Amino acid sequence: MPSNPPCPRAVPSIICAAVLAICAAFVAYAQQPAPQGVPENSVTRVSDHVYAIIGFPNIGIIAGDRATLVVDTGMGPPNGAIVVREAEKLAKSPNLYLTTTHFHPEHAAGAQAFPPRTVLIRPAVQQEEMDKHGAEFIEMFRSRSALFREQLKDVKPRPPDILFDREIKLDLGGVTARLMWLGPAHTQGDELIFVEPDRTLLPGDIVENKLVPNMPNADASPKGWLAVLDKIAPLEPLHVVPDHGALGDGSLIAQERGFLQDLQTRALDLKRQGVSVDDAGKRLEADFKAKYPGWGSINAVPNAVRRVYAESQ
């Protein structure tokens, strides 16, 4: 059960009708991992109470004595159904919670596959994003491949049961999950989950393992991203389960911050020199490809540079 009362359900008063300008780099980033779904029978034990399904995306499962929390759904109902089956194999009771790290389809569009008893929890800010842009992103992903079109067939949004403002704690029985909204970064409504006593962090897209921070549009914030990293560093996690890429430990936070701080510093220096944002993006993409060998999604560098330029105005 939640250890503190939820805030009232937040309903946005205005639904944005404008279509987002989604750049090609976002699509390349989102489709990069080889597994284009959630593989069945592929659960990895991360810590005493935390398990992960390594796929597109990685899915977190936190199993307590009284309840189980699932983090993210996979791309659409077919993947959501796989996640449910894997979670129920680990569950010690029928009590089931679901939360989503952000509103993008591979993380949230499978919620309808979860049984009606599931309690869906989200940050209020994330739900506002879902209401405004969820349908647009689903259509955008559907247009990218026949596989995504099939996975996102007949998606029906499921309203949350609990919305929270900054943080809510779930006592799952022998293990506590802290669900946190710490400000905008990859999206406006990024959620991070810290599991105690396992000291395991599920940071969504905010901390990944050698993947360039993905900032596809104006909702992403380099300053916000750095601020969130500074807020979670004191948690000193032993284990990190990123949404995309390989599992790791707490050193991933400093690695992510070092890359992003380097990019921000370099981009601001180029802007002061009068270099155009397009030329700066091309230059830093080439430079960072050489400086950070082994990092994926280098083609996301120009978008991050564009966000740095925009925030410095």
pTM score > 0.85 for this model?
A: yes
Give the DSSP letter of residue 298.
Answer: G
pLDDT digits (tens, 9 = 90+) for 50-62: 999 999 999 999 9
Instruction: Please state, in angstroms and as integers, the Cα–Cα distance from residue 296 to each residue in 48, 53, 210, 267, 302, following that order.
Output: 30, 20, 6, 19, 14
Does 41 reside within a domain?
Answer: yes
Does 232 reside within a domain?
Answer: yes
pLDDT of 41 reads: 85
pLDDT of 37 reads: 86
**Measured torsion, CA atoms of residues 136, 17, 122, 12, in degrees rounded to the nearest 10:** -170
pLDDT digits (tens, 9 = 90+) for 31-83: 344 346 898 888 999 999 999 999 999 999 999 999 999 999 999 999 999 99
Does 47 reside within a domain?
Answer: yes
Query: For residue 270, is pLDDT > 60?
Result: yes
CATH number for the domain including 67? 3.60.15.10
The residue segments making up the domain with residue 114 are 24-208+222-250
Does 265 reside within a domain?
Answer: no
74: left (phi over 0), alpha (psi -120 to 50) or beta: left
Among 260, 257, 209, which Cα is nearest to 234's? 257
Does 69 reside within a domain?
Answer: yes
Tell me the one-letter amino acid at 279: D
Contacts of residue 279, defined as CB under 8 A and 6 or more positions apart, other chains included, come to 270
Query: For residue 134, is pLDDT > 90?
Result: yes
Does 89 reside within a domain?
Answer: yes
Number of domains in the chain: 1
Does 290 reside within a domain?
Answer: no
**Other residues' Cβ atoms within 10 Å of the Cβ of residue 257:** 19
pLDDT of 27 reads: 41
Does 145 reside within a domain?
Answer: yes
Choose the weakest-confidence range: 10-14, 115-119, 272-276, 305-309.
10-14
